[in-house]
Amino acid sequence: MGVDKSDKLNKIIKLLPGYNCRACGYKRCDIFAEELLNGRTSLDKCPFLFREDFKQNMIELKELLKDVEYKEVKSEAEEEEKLVGVIDEYEADFLLDPLPNEHSCRETLMIADKKPLKIGDYIQYRPLGCPIPHFAKIIDENHGLYIVHIEGPCHRITGKEKEYINVGIAMVVAFEGIVIGKVPEVGHTVKFIPNHCMMQKVHSGVVVEVEGNRAYIEGIDLKVW
């Protein structure tokens, strides 16, 4: 980043509210500022800039960004034919790929079974509404919810047998991954196919966070309305 662009970025950061509230879809205001400068988002994504006490800030921000051309970044997937689920043949908005250096999208599970679980455990479960048993490794825990990487049902093909704790039925409450296709906006209901889904079934949910092409989707449903 050149000196002029760096100075402009610092000015934008200072003019933004600085609440890091994520309403714009980014974790912090400085990330939002950089995306503004790169033409990947717009000022109207920040609701606080429309308040009277930020009126002058908005004027100055518009002046700083007047030469920035908005870029609607399209991936190769958008240029290809429609993305359709294999099982139900519903059309999906995008494919959800794993995060960098990870082998599956992250799933957040609500597990009713009271067996003691910890990070690093391997579990077997059947997602509510899905007929196929899943095998996963717990990578994090947050207030009783478990974040997992999917290890199967194709795990047996690798020949790496592990001891799995059977926790019965679990509710998948969220997915996190990389959007392959048009990146959705926060608050939108979307239809997507998780890359690791063996059935290649279309899921639906609500986008609660976007950072670049990384999306966090909650309210997961296997029914598509």
Residue pLDDT tens, the chain, 225 long: 444 788 999 999 999 998 877 777 787 899 989 999 989 888 988 878 888 888 999 999 999 999 888 765 444 444 445 777 776 778 899 999 999 989 899 999 999 999 999 999 999 999 998 888 899 999 999 999 999 999 876 544 444 567 899 999 999 999 999 999 889 999 999 999 998 887 788 999 999 999 989 999 999 987 765
pLDDT reported for residue 47:
78
Please report, for residues 15, 126, 141, 209, the alpha-carbon distance to residue 213 in angstroms, rounded to integers and kept in the order given.
25, 29, 24, 10
C-alpha–C-alpha distance, residues 82 and 147, integer Å: 30
Tokens of 67: 């030469």
CA-angle at 46, arms to 176 and 36, nearest 5°: 80
Alpha-helical runs (H) found in 16-145: 29-37, 55-64, 76-79
Domain extents in the chain: 3-64, 76-221
C-alpha–C-alpha distance, residues 190 and 141, integer Å: 25
CATH fold of 3-64 reads 3-methyladenine DNA Glycosylase II; Chain A, domain 3 (1.10.15)
Task: Map tokens 């196929």 to a residue.
Answer: 132
